[in-house]
Amino acid sequence: MLLLNLISKLKGESPNKDEDTINFTAAEGVAIGIDLGTTYSCAAAVMGETLTIISSESGQYAIPSVIYFSEDGKEVRVGEDAKRTFDPKRSIHMIKRFMGREYDAPATQKDVKMVTYDVRKSTKQGSVGQCEVHIPSTAEPSGVRVVTPELLSGMILMKLKTLAEEQLGMEVTSANITVPAYFGDRERRATIKAGELAGLKVKKVLNEPTAASIAFGVKSKGDEEVVPLIFDLGGGTFDISVLTIESDVFETLATEGDAQLGGADWDHVLALEMVDDHFKKTGKKIEKDSEEFRVLTQEAEKLKRSLSVLHDADLQLSLGEHDINFSITRAHFEHITRHLMSKCVLLLKKALRNRSVPQIDQVVLVGGSTRMPAIAEMILKETHIEPLYNVVNPDIAVAAGAAYQIAAVTGQATKSVVLLDVTPLGLGIETVNGILANIIEKDAAVPTRKTKKFTTAADNQTSVTIKVFESDRTRTTDLRAMDKFDLVGLPAKPKGEVQVDVTFEMNTDGVLVVTAECAEANVKKSIQVKGALSMTDEQIAEARADAEKYFEADKKYSEFVQAKQNVEAFLSQVRKQISEDAVKQALGDDHETLEDLVKKYTRWLESESSEDAETYEEKFKEIQAEISPLLAKTYGAGAGGADGEQAYDEANEYDL
């Protein structure tokens, strides 16, 4: 019935009021783990201590993530049959790369050029600017059937659900579905929606490397702490995660990745090489959107697999008017794809440089594309650790891990699993002069709760504005706030004397609650931040790249702000002290001199436009040289100090 509902939607019929929702009511059944892949998908179930990998009709564990639509709209095929019955405009593949994504994003445009079917920008309410697929169909009055990536992925999930029910002999009602660690909130919500369309209650959207680490942890069955690096290069996405595993507790320490990099990119480069080679030999051109190019891409995947075990491979193939005669060595294949390997190297180095990462114990390879020898050679060179192939099957590890986790939660399994994930970017608030003060650091374990103390930045300040940011930058002027709110009712006191505690609390679902509280005034306000962790994977990658690109500039600006605040704090403290009667009496005629000096340097501070920290540091020395000897006379009159030196509190980095 559900499959008919899905097909009826594709025909333009709507069995429900909400055309993007399929009602599904069933008693509790089996829970499974699903690796919804870009090129291949896999499902698994754990009952007791028994792991069952769901196989295709031909007995394969990896099921092609391909959907085929007949021209008359009467037939929809999914999986192996769809891959065999391929039409460049009506066969949908790599749909995962368009899930929850903005059509105009540069990474999306790159992927649009890699597929043969028609991807366009949606104008539909609720999904404006997102991707949708236009499929030629004689069954539609317009001649085109418009389908969302979520619905297409839902059909792949329905196929896996149906196969699982046939092989387990029980109804499947819920699942863990895995996604790349770099997937943002939009892609994750799109994945949940796809699961719901397939009639599944999605218990958890699990990061793929985390799921793989569970399979590795369960397989290794050790109680001592290990620190594995999970290197997951699948057909369409790439993830690296570093974790600690101790007994049944899995904690993610660091993540890196690229949701637009996978084995399909190696296939695409190899197919282009075949097209170029054929043109040089015959003068005949093969267009990238043709059926011939689609066939060459499939053959490229086979050649890539051959080159993983052989040093050379060749292809003889007749494609209509094109007779393909192509040979390639492993060395040449690695040469033409070296730019893809460079991306892997860069992300691996970034993961290893993360300050949260201790000494790596093991490197676990996940995903079929890790079978390329160059991958293992690169990892050995960078980590000096021989990657592990035989602990877990790289094709099924992710689905198996997802199955172990959901089985532990639902009680299907006897082994418990505790997951601690991480935040991809830092989370914090804006402080004085536009400096971002992180409260939750990048790669912090989730769930988490952190509190930092802040003080007012001005005299008689009775309110503060809390602006929340998600970034690894230290300067907020180039960033857009995720949310903001005001805490009012603070006591009117001199700057720095009123304390505000700001707490960030994030749960396992990525829901962020921000609370600001002034205990002295008994005022408190909390909000649930809209859009917490909602950045797409490309936005996260861009944010991290910006943090590296502007690191030196941001550091220089932070140093300038701190140096300026030190001068401000010193003058403010002196101004306050010389207003006291006991200090005035101790200073005598020097009181007026000090007042004039404070006014003089305050004017300088207000007029100085330089953002050079050294300018303020030198001026600070000059100010102290003039003021400190005069203040020394007040020692014992309540102004503080020791051995004739003025006591001075450095400016608080966290003034609001």
Q: What are phi and psi of 257, to 5 degrees?
A: 165, 180
Distance of CA 31 to the CA centre of its chain: 26
In terms of Cα–Cα distance, which of 219, 212, 209 is closest to 253? 209
User: Are the beta carbons of 200 and 173 closer than 8 angstroms?
Assistant: yes
The catalytic position among 87, 102, 150, 232 is 232
Dihedral, 555, 556, 557, 563 alpha carbons, nearest 10: 110
User: What gap in Å lies between CA 226 and CA 230, rounded to an integer?
Assistant: 12
The alpha carbon torsion through 259, 261, 262, 265 (nearest 10 deg) reads: 140
Is residue 208 part of the annotated active site? The answer reads: yes
The interaxial angle of helices 208-220 and 397-410, nearest 10 deg, is 80
User: Phi/psi zone of residue 650: left (φ > 0), alpha (ψ -120 to 50 degrees), beta?
Assistant: beta
Residue whose pair of structure tokens reads 């196989």 in the numeric block: 55
Q: Residue 35 catalytic?
A: yes
Catalytic choice (35, 273, 292, 299): 35
Q: Give yes or no for a contact between 443 and 256, defined as CB atoms under 8 angstroms apart.
A: no
CA proximity to 64, closest of 208, 146, 163 = 163
Structure tokens at 338: 């070296």
CB count within 10 Å of CB 647 equals 12
506-512, Cβ contacts within 8 angstroms, sequence gap of 24 or more: 506/423, 506/427, 506/440, 506/446, 506/447, 506/448, 506/449, 506/532, 507/446, 507/447, 508/419, 508/421, 508/446, 508/447, 510/185, 510/446, 512/427, 512/468
Given the residues 9, 83, 87, 96, the one annotated as active site: 96
- Cα 268 to chain centroid distance, Å, stands at 25
Q: Of residues 102, 111, 132, 208, which has the active-site annotation?
A: 208
Q: Are 233 and 58 in contact (CB under 8 A)?
A: no
| Helix axes of 149-168 and 2-10: crossing angle, nearest 10 degrees | 160
One-letter amino acid at 118 equals D
Q: 228 forms bridges with which residues in the sheet?
A: 362
d(CA 294, CA 441): 45
Sheet holding 435-440, edge to edge: 435-440, 427-431, 463-470, 483-488
Q: Quick one: how far is CA 40 from the chain centroid?
A: 22
Angle value at C-alpha 175, between 169 and 176, nearest 5 degrees: 140
- Pairing outcome for strands 228-233 and 238-246: antiparallel
**Contact predicate 269/302, CB 8 Å:** no
Which residues participate in catalysis according to the annotation?
35, 96, 208, 232
